[in-house]
Amino acid sequence: MNTEQPLSTFEEWYLSLKIVKANNGPANGTIAATLVLLERLKEKYDLDFDTHVAPGGAQIKGASGAAVASILRTLGETRPFAKEGGRTNRGGQGDIRPLFKSLEPLKLGLLEQEDRNKILASFQAFLVERVRDFHNRQKIKLVFDSKLSTWQVIRNLLEIAENEGKFGAVAQHLVGAKLQLRFPEVKVSNESASTADKPTNRSGDFAIGNTVFHVTVSPMEGVYKKCQENLEDGLKPYLIVPDEILVGTRQYADRHCKGQIAVGSLESFISQNIEEISVFAADKLKHSLVSLVKIYNERVNAVEVDKSLMIELPSNLEKYNG
């Protein structure tokens, strides 16, 4: 069989997938689960999708971060991708079922296993190229204009992140970097943005002394409950939000616990400390801004699969990157 027809069918399926804004492509879990399922089809070509789902219907059999990493490694891609391996990606099952349906008319099951597996391998190779596209996306570009206030420089950076679907993650890691820059002797926790979004037993995103910091670009009821729990535990909650919703957030926080929840804007929280550390001197400010970005990138690199969350320094700050 000519491999072009099956690959064309596979590409059509891929192009039909929902685009995730943060990825500029399909969900990583869908790609990861598909890689694993294609590997299973090499061993036993069975297009009854339900036979590939574990009892309970929530997990793809054999899917894990380690399984995906192994497949990627055999195809020359060693960078971390989809730590869960699509194992618990319920949405991914809905994405992949149509692929199995589209393969039925091709009657690949009639081919010799070796010939069929070459076709399945071509599908995997196509997906690996998409994984490379994911890793090779551009970083967020910081724009520095010395005529602008530091507050505005940070605001502009956050707007770029928002436009690229990375607002929440960038906000969290910028606050973490700012705390680490300001308190180098204190161990500042570092979690991936996806971990921070999940319900956990953590008191907040960061803790310094008896103050707990909650970073959110869209405060929901849960964060105010966390703040109330902090107060019950004798801690001081500090809620950090975008400046544009600062007033409303402060009013809502006061309705929950009047005067007990500190609320500040992301832009001010980050920029004011940079100004203070720099003793309000222009050249020192540039050094401090570069230091913030370097710490931010180190923190992102340590915990995030998506390296496009990292920030690229502009040419007019590169000489301060010493």
- Residue found under tokens 């055999």: 74
This prediction has a pTM of: 0.68
pLDDT digits (tens, 9 = 90+) for 257-307: 888 999 999 999 999 989 988 888 888 899 999 999 999 999 999 998 888
Helix (H) or strand (E) holding 251: helix 246-256
Question: Cβ contacts of residue 278 below 8 Å, gap of 6+?
Answer: 284, 285, 287, 288
Between β-strands 206-208 and 211-215, what pairing exists: parallel, antiparallel or unpaired?
antiparallel
- Residue found under tokens 């399922």: 37
Q: Are 289 and 317 in contact (CB under 8 A)?
A: yes
* Strand ranges, E, within 4-123: none
309: DSSP letter: G
pLDDT of residue 281: 83
Higher-pLDDT residue of 143, 4: 143
pLDDT of residue 197: 45
- Whole-number average pLDDT of the chain: 89
pLDDT of residue 85: 56
Q: Are 34 and 127 in contact (CB under 8 A)?
A: yes
Q: How many whole angstroms separate alpha carbon 200 and alpha carbon 222?
A: 11
| Cβ neighbours around 92 below 10 Å, total | 25
pLDDT digits (tens, 9 = 90+) for 165-179: 889 999 999 999 999
pLDDT of residue 192: 87
pLDDT of residue 273: 87
pLDDT of residue 1: 59
**Is the pLDDT reported for residue 181 higher than 70?**
yes
**Is the pLDDT reported for residue 201 higher than 80?**
no
Higher-pLDDT residue of 46, 64: 46
